[in-house]
Structure 1
Amino acid sequence: MPATAAEDEAVVRKLAKKAEWKPHETDWLTAYQTYRANSGSPFAVNAHDFGPGVGKRQYDLYDSRKGSGDLKRMRQKAGLKSCPVCGSPVTGDLDHYLPRDMYREFSIMRANLVPACRHCNSGVKGTTVHGGNPRRFIHPYFDTWAADALWDVEIVPPYNAATFRPRVMAGLPAPRDQIVAFHLDNVLGTQFHLSMATDWSTLPGQIKLRDPILSLQSVTDQIGLELRVALMSRGVNSWQAALMRGILAEPAAIAHLLQEAIVALLP
């Protein structure tokens, strides 16, 4: 969590020292408290109407602050292995968990702001809030269970022109399975599929480079090692980790990689 409740509320109290914000202090603080009490759930947190023009001013607060102070530090957070929202290897932006267009009172609430990448914060997620209870986005701060492996990538034949389907991990209990399914459906866009295609097509050559004496077991071992590397370098729900989990779950995919590695031309 990037800020405590008291730290988030202190920003509102400071703003309320100005006459234009003072009449809205109580309702604004109540909205913050409701958000945290319900872990940001879109099924429990309703947007508040603060009156004509107020929402626009709340919306604009983010634009005036995103380049400095706490918000800049959140955007440039060190140590992130991958995007906490979609799992891409890129970070450097901020995503509003409850969309700013609809929940303007949470424009600068740090509990509602998540370091993210431009892939999932440039229109893929958009203004979508939920898909009907319990289908919603994973909240990186409140959904502590999301630290576990949640998904893998199904490699859909024909393998020479494979497509890639995000898939909820088998055995994930309800309602988490529905939450993860909704999340994957709404944060993974074109860049994810391009990245998977590149990784899949270059794997055979990489495998042959590392092990010229190839067998099903050696390829399986290499994919297992790639998974361990991804877990260490990118994180448990990164794109790379999800792809390697998916390959390990499909013997036919491993057999294809073996055959492609045998005929691969090395540089």
Structure 2
Amino acid sequence: MDDVVAERQGGKNAGFFTGIAQEWRDRVQAYIEGAGSPALVQTWPDIEHKKNSFLNLYLSPADGSVQGNVLAAMRAHELSLCPACGEAGAPNTLDHYLPKGRFPHFCVTPYNLFPMCDACQTNKKEKTGDAVDPRFFLHPYFDVFVANQVIAVSVDPPFDAPTFDLAPAAGLTAPQTALVSRHLRELGILQRYARFFRNEYQRLLRLVDRLRAAGLDVEEHLISFRDHAAVPTSNAWQHVFYAAVVANPGLLAYLRNDNLPPYR
């Protein structure tokens, strides 16, 4: 924030940014201490008349500017999946955890920015929470428990045409479970995972058919697939899928011994 303010000193907004510098710093500090929670971090009505001056820092950064360099560095990530949902594919946009329309003073705060896929951003929009649940979404920097698997799939028979459910993983605290449930709901992840599950299950049956034809150990190879898919995160959709498969004795018995449907 200090560097952004210093860079403004030669422009028409020099007086404005100088005048709000200390409070801006204080509000960023409050964001950090409040872990970005919309229940704890306040809006800033006094800067509403200068809202565009903040938004332009994000929307139209000058080449080589302080914020331009930060944004470019954040967009130059090497992620291969969305950190908000775990779906494969490089996320091609930055999301504002607290939306820039209501919190313009955090529009170039790195703690408030992280890569997100288009599907998640379309569902998230400007939402933060409501009167009942003030926080809808996991924060990728402050909710440290997301380093572990926080979503889990259950696969139910009949295994030739299974059904599934996607829910918070076991072992989370009650508040964590509630937050993960809201996150899944508000980003529409269950509905999006349904198509992935259908396609991945068909791939699983084709894979198992080849393993059985080659005389290979089905469970051993599925565990290997699960472990491989845990990198870079155990919340990757493929890891969540294979973790469910190898944890399901009935499904494993079906894959080892039963006649498989013709998804080949």
- Report what 2:244 is aligned to: 246
- Pairing 1:202–2:209 present: no
Q: SS at 1:65's partner residue?
A: coil
Aligned position for 1:30: 26
Letter in 2 for 1:128: K
Aligned-partner residue type, residue 94 of structure 2: L
What are the superposed Cα offsets for residues 198-236 of structure 1, whole Å, 9 maximum, x if unpaired?
112221112222342679xx433332221101013x421
SS in 1 for 2:46: coil
Instruction: Please state whether the residue corresponding to 1:185 is helix, strand or coil.
Output: helix
Deviations 1:76-127 (A, max 9, x none): 212x342221111122321111122221111111110012222212x11122
Is 1:181 aligned to residue 174 of structure 2?
no
Q: 2:58 matched to which residue of 1?
A: 62
Letter in 2 for 1:206: L
Offset of residue 46 of structure 1: 1.3
Structure 1 segment 45-56 matched on structure 2, within 5 A: 45-56=41-52
Residue 125 (structure 1) aligns with? 124
Give the secondary structure class of the aligned counterpart of 2:119. Answer: coil
Which deviates more, 223-232 or 54-63?
54-63
Partner in structure 2 of residue 3 of structure 1: none
Alignment pair present for 1:14 and 2:28: no
1:219 aligned onto 2:212: no
CA 1:243–1:10: 2 relative to 1, 3 Å: same
The residue identity in structure 2 corresponding to 1:50 is: D
- Relative to structure 1, the CA distance from residue 238 to residue 133 in structure 2 (aligned partners, 3 Å threshold; closer, same or farther) is same
SS of residue in 1 equivalent to 2:124: coil
Give ranges in structure 2 of 5+ residues lacking alignment: none
Residues in 1 aligned to 2:212 and 2:160: alpha-carbon distance in whole angstroms: 22
Structure 1 residue 141 and structure 2 residue 137: aligned? Answer: no
State whether residues 160 and 260 of structure 2, in contact with CA within 8 Å, keep that contact through their aligned partners in structure 1. Answer: no
CA distance in 2: counterparts of 1:259 and 1:111, whole angstroms? 51
Shift of 1:71: 0.9
C-alpha separation between the residues in 1 aligned to 2:192 and 2:61?
Answer: 29
Gap change, CA 1:144 and 1:220, over 3 Å in 2: same
**1:165 maps to amino acid:** D
CA 1:241–1:16 in structure 2 vs 1: closer, same or farther (change >3 Å)? farther
Q: What TM-score, normalized by structure 1, do the two folds share?
A: 0.81
Alignment of 1:69-108 (within 5 A): 69-78=69-78, 80-90=79-89, 91-108=91-108
Q: Where does the alignment leave 5 or more consecutive residues of structure 1 unmatched?
A: 1-7
User: What SS is found at the alignment partner of 1:167?
Assistant: strand
- Give matches, 1:154-193, under 5 Å: 154-155=154-155, 159=159, 162-189=162-189, 191-193=192-194
Bigger mean CA deviation after superposition, 17-26 or 163-172: 17-26
1:224-265 CA distances to partner (integer Å, 9 max, x unpaired)? 221101013x42111111112222333344455457874547
Distance 1:208 1:107 in 2: 51
Q: Secondary structure at the match of 1:193?
A: helix
Task: State the shift of 1:48 in Å.
Answer: 1.0
Aligned length: 254
Q: 1:40 aligns with which of 36, 42, 46?
A: 36
- Secondary structure at the residue paired with 2:223? helix
Between 1:14-23 and 1:148-157, the stretch displaced more is: 14-23
Query: Percent identity over the alignment?
Result: 26
Partner SS, residue 175 of structure 1 = helix
Q: Is the 8 A contact 1:134 1:179 kept in 2?
A: no
Tell me the C-alpha RMSD between the 2 structures.
2.9
Which amino acid is 2:199 matched to?
Answer: T
